[in-house]
């Protein structure tokens, strides 16, 4: 499940309007709409607030958010998978 989809489905489950979520997050309604459409990425702070507003596990949401950042970095690259594996190796050496 993609981040934008998750946010939208969670909001709908809770029967909240974009307007209501927007006010909890302190942004314009249009921005929430865009986030749910995948047109804009939420900031880290917004992710935190969204987790609370929509009652989503923060760590899970953050993971998804970071994962999409990575995905954006690599999505059109031939070496995407290799590059990711390389990063994984590096992180494992460090820990």
Partner DNA sequence: TTATTTCTTGTCGAATTTTGTCTAAAATAG
Partner DNA sequence: CTATTTTAGACAAAATTCGACAAGAAATAA
**Is residue 54 exposed (0-12), middle (13-18) or buried (19+ Cβ within 10 Å)?**
buried
Question: Residue 76 Cβ, how far from its own copies at the closest point, in Å?
Answer: 11
C-alpha pair distances (Å), 93 with each of 42, 79, 87, 88: 31, 21, 10, 9
Question: Residue 41 Cβ, how far from its own copies at the closest point, in Å?
Answer: 12
* Nearest in space to 55 (alpha carbons), one of 6, 5, 90: 6
Where does this chain touch DNA (CB under 7 A) — which range of 42-50, 57-65, 77-85, 86-94? Answer: 42-50
Where does this chain touch its own copies (CB under 8 A) — which range of 10-18, 29-37, 48-56, 70-78? Answer: 70-78
Closest CB to DNA among residues 43, 89: 43
> Hey, which residues between 28 and 47 contact its own copies (CB under 8 A)?
none
User: Does residue 15 sit in helix, strand or coil?
Assistant: coil
User: Does the footprint of DNA cover residue 36 (CB under 7 A)?
Assistant: yes
Token pair of 11 as six digits: 């909001």
User: Does the footprint of DNA cover residue 77 (CB under 7 A)?
Assistant: no
């Amino acid at each position: 499940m993609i981040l934008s989809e998750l946010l939208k489905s969670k909001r709908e489950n809770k029967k909240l309007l974009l307007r209501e979520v927007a006010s909890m997050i302190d942004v314009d309604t249009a921005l929430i709409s865009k986030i749910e459409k995948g047109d804009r990425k939420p900031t880290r702070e917004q992710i935190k607030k969204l987790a609370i507003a929509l009652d989503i596990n923060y760590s899970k949401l953050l993971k998804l958010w970071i994962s999409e950042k990575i995905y954006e970095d690599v999505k059109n690259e031939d070496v995407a998978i290799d590059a990711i594996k390389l990063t994984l190796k590096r992180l494992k050496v460090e820990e």
